[in-house]
Amino acid sequence: MKANYTKYILNFKQASGTSRGVLQTKETYFIVISDQEKIGYGETGLFRGLSADDRNDYEEKLTWACQHIYLGLEQLRAELLEFPSIQFGLEQAFLSLESVGNFELFPSDFTKGEASIPINGLIWMGNESFMQQQIEDKLKAGFNTIKMKIGAIDFDTELKLLAAIRKQFSSKEITLRVDANGAFTSKNALQKLDRLSAYDLHSIEQPIQQGQIKEMQDLCRKTPVPIALDEELIGVFSYQQKKEVLQEIQPQYIILKPSLVGGFYGSNEWISLANKQKIPYWVTSALESNIGLNAISQYTYTLESNLPQGLGTGSLFTNNIKSPLEVRQGNIHYNTKKEWKITI
């Protein structure tokens, strides 16, 4: 068995704003495993500035993983505990190697094209008119769950945009989520949450920056808007650490990004612990190409979650890998009439 990796730069169709700045490109890596008869593909979706494995020795670890591919997934995972995106890429590649046709990692009604997954429509940060246009486009496209990134422009303007949606649609018609990406401070967060509560939001993701356990615990206890932990789960590697985070903070939701939390294995650990505390969850992609998005989508379908997921990033890039994934009427589908076109 042999393995190698390739670096790939994804180019955004248009610059996409977050509270961390404006994104124009997204760096990612593909792992390819081969034996005498088959080939397997995986994506190690490193996210610069966010991933716990955004380290100077990242490519060194990727090289090591490829050189030691013969060790098998379980031992490689143990050796790469602090490199969650590499763990995830290896999981995908081994499953792909074993699959029929390379990309049916979790055979189901989803991969047969007979079922779809409801997802939220993502509104990127920008000026008011840009964000308003995105909202109108998502509503026209059939989304009934909208997720708006907040925290980079004037807060009153963001509230104005939410108010405009609520003036037109009730919470029974359109579900609203917001994602602060840690943009609030521990001093102003509760006051901002009080103002946001006027718009009947489903949830807010990561209102304050990760690592402030006591402050987040206090917010989750007092908040008028349900809080979903997102970045808070990044860099928490051991099962015991994960257990302590959930027990101490007691959030209303958690959000799982497989590239950032150790792939399927890491996500399953969080899910097991969340289920014990009766904490609902949903799964979100993290700007992977369609190779990673495909793996996340297939996995997510097997979880049988009844919440809209965050899986609609595949159309953001000009040079994405051609795949059968499609977003139609607020759902992600696997179109079996389309074929994969691998250009890596």
Q: Where are the domains of the chain?
A: 2-98, 117-334
Q: What is the dihedral of CA 249, 250, 255, 261, to 10 degrees?
A: 50
pLDDT mean over 61-66: 98
Write down the CATH number for the domain with range 2-98.
3.30.390.10
pLDDT at 102: 84
Taking only the tens place, the pLDDT of each residue in 217-263 is 999 999 999 999 999 999 999 999 999 999 999 999 999 999 999 99
Taking only the tens place, the pLDDT of each residue in 297-314 is 999 999 999 999 999 867
- φ and ψ at residue 171, rounded to 5 degrees: -65, -20
What is 117-334's CATH superfamily? Enolase-like C-terminal domain (3.20.20.120)
178 and 202 Cβ atoms separated by less than 8 Å: no
* This prediction's pTM: 0.95
CB atoms inside a 10 Å sphere around CB 164: 15
Positions annotated as catalytic residues are 149, 257
Judge whether residue 148 has pLDDT over 70.
yes
Q: How confident is the model at residue 163 (pLDDT cuts 50, 70, 90)?
A: very high
- φ and ψ at residue 181, rounded to 5 degrees: 50, 35
Question: How far is Cα 149 from Cα 88, in angstroms, rounded to an integer?
Answer: 26
pLDDT at 261: 98
Judge whether residue 166 has pLDDT over 60.
yes
Judge whether residue 19 has pLDDT over 70.
no
Question: How far is Cα 37 from Cα 190, in angstroms, rounded to an integer?
Answer: 58
pLDDT at 18: 60
Q: Which two tokens stand for residue 4?
A: 């190698």
Taking only the tens place, the pLDDT of each residue in 69-117 is 999 999 999 999 999 999 999 999 999 999 988 899 999 999 999 999 9
Judge whether residue 15 has pLDDT over 60.
yes
pLDDT at 100: 80
pLDDT at 301: 98
Alpha helix (H) residue ranges in 58-212: 58-67, 73-79, 84-98, 128-140, 155-168, 189-196
Judge whether residue 9 has pLDDT over 60.
yes
- Report the sign of the C-alpha dihedral through residues 221, 223, 224, 226, in that order: negative
> Average model confidence (pLDDT) for the chain?
94
Judge whether residue 21 has pLDDT over 80.
no
